[in-house]
Amino acid sequence: MTASQLAVEGLSIDYEVGTGRYHALSDVSVTLDPGRVLGIVGETGCGKSTLAHAIPRILPEPPARVVSGRVIFQGVDLYAVPKWKLPLVRGTGIGMIFQEPLNSLNPAFRVYDQLAEAVIIRQRREAGLAPMFRPEQENPFDYSRHPRVRAGEGLTGPFVGSVATDRARRPRVPDSVRGEVLEYLRLVRISDPESILGRFPHELSGGMRQRVMIAQALSQRPSLLIADEPTSALDVTIQAQVLTLMKELLAEIRTSILFISHDLGIISEMADDVGVMYAGRLVEHGPVAEIFGRPRHPYTKALLHAIPSRYKADGDLDSIPGSVPNLSRLPTGCCFHPRCALARRECGEDPPPALVPVDPAPTGRTERDPPHSSACRFFSEVEGLP
Amino acid sequence: MASKTPRVPVALAAGPSRSAIVRVGRPLRLLWRVLRSNPLSLVGFVLVVLIVVATALVYLAPAVIGVHYPLNQPSNALGQPPSWAHPFGTDPIGIDIYSNVMAALPVDLSIAFAIAVFALVFGGLLGLVAGFWDTRRTLGGAVSVVILRITDVFLAFPSLILALAIAVSLGRGVPQVIIAVMLTWWPYYTRLVRGEVLSVKHRQYVTAARVAGVSETRILFRHVVRNVIEPVVVYFTMDIGTVIVTFSTVVFVIPNVISFPSTNTSEWGVMIQNYQDSFSALPWTVLAPGLAIFLTVLSFSLLGDGLRDVLDPRTRRAMLETRRLEPAAPVEKAEEAESAGPAAPVPGTVPDVTGPS
């Protein structure tokens, strides 16, 4: 398959809050091929979560405003389709695991209801009872298998799949829903899934809730899964469990993952490719081994250097001098130049450099790997930095 | 616990279609626990049950509770204080006050329910729309701005004054007064529901439902409404009493705004208005309907308080937990406790004590 699963092209998003305008994303472009894991790393406030929420278009607009760019999912620009069609892409097309598992389950619904809703949505779409996103067709939002279309009635706008129409012809929920719910709970290694079906989210521990969340996202078998810091709210042991689990699941359900984290260790474990973000820009992008082995952007280098090492017990922890720039008043030129050891006069004056491919491909790079590119003019000097 | 005990609540074992029926039993049991732990709400609950029973008796067997028709039947007992024969006394021409007060019960209750239900449904729906689709520069945003400005107009007026003005302009008759109060009543529900929707709709679980492919209307009516409904139901319950007071006040303030063609109907506000001249000589003629209003309002308010605790899954759980801590739960009781509440810890899992964050 030549077409990529997801292509974000030059996406710029501003937040308009009060009088200020915050440039959360500036000209971000990434692509993700089927079956691959793209990790996005960066400090807090660099736009990782904005990117994650912008892809399925769940950013509240306003305050968010898409200034330019496109998000192309399986060949369809999601920012060009009418809003009411978006639910068809979500769930079975793009699934998401959120940062805070504690708030991501509806407190009024039992675990069973939460999961059953997701399973039923997928089953109905697969059975042709609900409209489904079909990228391979000319009109990807296909209603042709919908009973009302087959009956020659036609569909009336946004009320497709609404409560009223759903209830009117909702087929009896097949017994398979319960079976599937249990199956996915087992998949996320909940040892006795039947015991938690009747529980409310507040009766589960954080780790359990996170797994229910993951089960919910997976039960829709999305072709793209966005994991927005899925483990940051968990302690280390559960984090390890969840990550192991996700890696195992990758093999079980073939899906591409956009994995967002500020934890470089997790990214190096999980990702095939890595994008490094700084102040709303993608500053370096490439296969994971090359990014971590031979970083070609001073920010990546500094970030890797700042990882606390247990072998280096003496002295202070390393950090990057300075702080993340205010997104409403970005520095001119390269955003990183005020903190950069390599910075020269042109870094602060010329417009920010674009991502350019670095070095010839080293041995071992496969055809599927993206080229290693960096947004630094002096990437060849990065290796010489401490 | 016996290993064969199904750990799933019975409701779920049968699949979601039957669970809805079985789940009705659980709130009732919970209701009882909550009522026991909160004596005032128990008082309210008992009073409301009494009111409902009395209403039914007035309809079905008026003679059993001493209501005699026709209500305006004069007798020889002129202006008598309360006695066994006339529990609330009689008026200057010997009409039994007790019969009138009791006969007004179903009338006032049904009027109050009609007004409050209309306000709940109409105002609540407008509140849902105004809260959920409030993005500026969209069709929904325009609609919600219009809705909110209209509610502002209504809320800027004291609702009683407005109801009086509308009632006067509509003319005499029970439906006219009902419509007058209805028209002033819904904006409070719109505001309440909108506020709740605004606080719920940006929660992460709504976003999570959205990204799971749930349509916007379904998110609103399933995910949002379910989390908004609790304070609204509590407010509704307490509101029943307020509606009765307002309706009676309108009827009291505007002379002869309603008159019942049938001699078998009566209304508390009308009674107070009719007897206000005899208040100093025969105080029971006014105090009896006044007391009836007071008790009805009180009982619905107390019940509303209790409902608040029942409806919130978290306080509900807390109550179950505290009850379980009292004695060490015997093994054979564990099964019963489990079927009674979702919070019963399952052996082998550690009960989670972290609250919702």
Confirm whether B10 is domain-assigned.
Answer: no
Q: CB contacts < 8 Å between A and B, how many?
A: 154
Tell which wins on pLDDT, A352 or B120: B120
Long-range contacts, stretch A79-86, CB < 8 angstroms, 24+ apart: A81/A141, A83/A57, A84/A157, A84/A158, A84/B215, A84/B216, A85/A141, A86/A56, A86/A57
State the pLDDT at residue B148: 92
Ramachandran class of A195: left when φ > 0, alpha when ψ lies in -120 to 50, beta otherwise: alpha
A385: contact with B, CB 8 A cutoff: no
Picking from A253, A271, A289, the residue at the C-terminal end of a domain is A271
How far, in Å, CA of B44 to CA of B34, rounded? 12
Residue A129: inside a domain, yes or no?
A: no
- Provide the residue range defining the domain that includes B182: 22-333
CB contact, 8 Å: A174 with chain B? Answer: no
Q: Does a structural domain hold residue A375?
A: yes
Q: Which residues of B touch A90 (CB under 8 A)?
A: 210-213
Query: A205 in a domain, yes or no?
Result: yes
B128 touches chain A (CB under 8 A): no
The answer to whether B204 contacts A94, with C-beta atoms less than 8 Å apart, is no
User: Does residue A378 share a domain with residue A325?
Assistant: yes
Chain A residues touching residue B223 (CB < 8 angstroms)? 106
With an 8 Å Cβ cutoff, are A98 and B207 in contact?
yes
Specify whether A264 is located in the same domain as A290. Answer: no
Phi and psi at B95, nearest 5°, equal: -80, 140
Q: How confident is the model at residue A364 (pLDDT cuts 50, 70, 90)?
A: low
Same domain, A89 and A183: yes
Sign of CA dihedral A59, A61, A65, A69: positive
CB contact under 8 A, A177 and B209: no
SS (H, E, C) B276-318: HHHCCCCCHHHHHHHHHHHHHHHHHHHHHHHHHHHHCHHHHHH
B354 domain-assigned: no
Q: How many domains does chain B have?
A: 1
Within-domain flag for A133: no
Tell me, yes or no, whether A122 lies in a domain.
no
- Residue B340 counted as domain residue: no
Task: Indicate whether A256 belongs to any domain.
Answer: yes
Amino acid sitting at position B329: A
Of the candidates A217, A249, A271, which is a domain's last residue? A271
Contact B16 A177 (CB under 8 A): yes
Q: Tell me if A119 is assigned to some domain.
A: no
Domain final residue, candidates A224, A244, A271: A271
Whether residues A247 and A301 share a domain: the answer is no
User: Do residues A266 and A285 share a domain?
Assistant: no
- Model pLDDT for residues A300-339, shown as the tens digit of each residue: 888 887 777 656 556 666 777 777 777 777 777 787 877 8
Q: Are residues B251 and B269 in contact, defined by beta-carbon separation less than 8 angstroms?
A: yes
Contacts with A92 from chain B: Cβ below 8 Å = 213
Same-domain pairing of A305 and A182: no
Same domain, A42 and A92: yes
Please tell me whether residues A255 and A361 are part of one structural domain.
Answer: no
Give, for all 357 residues of chain B, the pLDDT tens digit. Answer: 344 444 444 444 444 444 444 455 666 776 677 677 777 888 888 899 999 999 998 888 888 887 777 777 777 778 788 888 788 888 888 888 888 889 888 889 999 999 999 999 999 999 999 988 887 778 888 999 999 999 999 989 888 899 999 999 998 888 889 999 999 999 999 999 999 999 888 888 888 888 888 888 888 888 899 888 888 988 999 899 889 999 988 988 888 777 776 677 888 888 888 888 888 888 888 899 999 999 999 999 888 887 777 776 666 655 555 544 444 444 444 444 444 444 444 444 444 444 443
Best mutation target among A83, A96, A103, A212 (most B Cβ atoms within 10 Å) is: A103
Q: Which of A56, A210, A61 is nearest to B211 (CA)?
A: A56
How does strand A356-357 pair with strand A373-374?
antiparallel
CATH label of the domain that carries residue B232: 1.10.3720.10
The pLDDT score that the predictor gives to residue A329 is: 78
Is residue A166 within 8 A of residue A177, CB to CB? The reply is no
A165 and chain B in contact, CB less than 8 A: no
The reply to whether residue B214 touches residue A112, judged by beta carbons under 8 angstroms, is no
Measured between CB atoms, which of A98, A192, A203 is closest to B317? Answer: A203
Q: Classify residue A31 by burial, with Cβ atoms within 10 Å: 0-12, 13-18, 19+.
A: middle
Residue A294: give the domain boundaries. 281-384
What is the pLDDT, as a whole number, of residue B180?
92
Note whether B14 contacts A: Cβ–Cβ < 8 A.
no
Q: For A34-90, what is each residue's pLDDT tens digit? A: 778 888 988 887 888 888 888 888 888 778 888 888 888 877 888 888 777 788 888
| C-alpha span between B20 and A375 (Å, rounded) | 58
Task: State how many domains chain A has.
Answer: 2
Q: Which residues of A touch B202 (CB under 8 A)?
A: 60
Are residues A95 and A225 located together in one domain of the fold?
A: yes
End-to-end, the C-alpha distance of chain A in Å comes to 42
CA B266 from chain centre, in angstroms, equals 23
Contact at CB, B313 and A202, closer than 8 angstroms: yes
Is residue A148 in a domain? no
In a domain, B210, yes or no: yes
Q: Does A259 lie in the same domain as A287?
A: no
Concatenating the DSSP letter of every residue in A356-374 gives EE-SPPPTT--TTSPPPEE
Whether B346 maps to a domain, the answer reads: no
- Looking at the fold, whether A238 and A296 belong to one and the same domain comes out as no
Q: Which residue of A has its CA nearest to B357?
A: A102
Q: Is B223 on the interface with A (CB under 8 A)?
A: yes
Question: Does residue A326 share a domain with residue A223?
Answer: no
Q: Å from B217 to nearest chain A CA? A: 6
